Amino acid sequence: LIMNHVNDETGMVAVIIPAAGEGRRFGAGQPKQLTDLCGWPILAHTLSRFDQTVAVDRVVLTVPYGRIKQVREEVVEPYGFTKPCVVIEGGKTRQESVYEGFLALEEDVDLIVVHDGVRPLVRPSTIESVIAEAREHGAAIAAVPVRDTLKRVRDGVIQTTLPRDEIWQAQTPQAFLRPILAEAMAAAWREGFQGTDEAALVERTGHPVRVYHGTADNIKITSPEDLVLAEALIGATAEGNHH
């Protein structure tokens, strides 16, 4: 079903990859999405996963101010990716960057995927599944059930333990039919709402967002420890994109 995705009945599928953070605290003097991971920049791994995904037609990368040329030369061009990839400058926040990406989409795109630039281990099968869910239901994200015990804390004192069995950790990809994301972004701008993901914007509009049970290895690289883990995971699966 998913592998037979064809683009003549439905519109094009584009992925917006916000990668505009300068990530200066990560060290090494360059944005963390350009940091080396097993021989490739992190962002090139991410791009590769979407390049391998049949259901994805196009890619929009949003990068830090002044980095377009560098990202083209170091991420987009060297690895033989085949899907069209537009590189633009992002905004000051993730939400602004996704909006900039949205403005760069052609009119024939009717389904939009958003994916963190620093989640390089996402599986193409996860991307396909989230797209299929969004195609059917309008909005879907990858997520995993939390394993930790979570507490609501105020002024250094536990208020309550959260009911773990209903709580999921949101990941990306997150996918939306175009009018649903457009309406959600417009409402967020109008009302000054900043979300930590795109689903939060859509939830506010009342449109149901489906959850696809992803995999725990789809980690977000935000610290040097995460980078070490990502290296180990790539080594362990022996599914590297290269070699």
Residue numbers of the site for a second copy (CB under 8 A)?
A: 141, 143, 146-154, 156-162, 164, 166-170, 195-197, 199-200, 203, 208-211, 216-217, 222-225, 228-229, 232-233, 236
Min dist. Cβ of residue 77 to a second copy (A)? 31
Shortest CB 198 distance to a second copy, Å: 10
In the numeric block, which tokens belong to residue 222? 């935000």
Nearest CB to a second copy, comparing residues 132 and 146: 146
Cα four-point dihedral sign 174, 176, 181, 184 = negative
Smaller CB distance to a second copy: residue 81 or 168? 168
- Closer by beta carbon to a second copy, 154 or else 243: 154
Give 212's strand partners: 142
Q: How far is the CB of 169 from a second copy (least distance, A)?
A: 5
Contact assessment for residue 133 and residue 126, using Cβ atoms and an 8 Å cutoff? no
In whole angstroms, give the CA distance from residue 26 to residue 69.
Answer: 22
Closer CB to a second copy, residue 71 or residue 209? Answer: 209
The distance of closest approach from Cβ of residue 131 to a second copy in the complex, given in angstroms and rounded to an integer, is 16
Amino acid (one-letter) located at 235: G
Query: Which residue do the tokens 């990406």 mark?
Result: 101
Cα–Cα dist 31/13, whole Å: 27
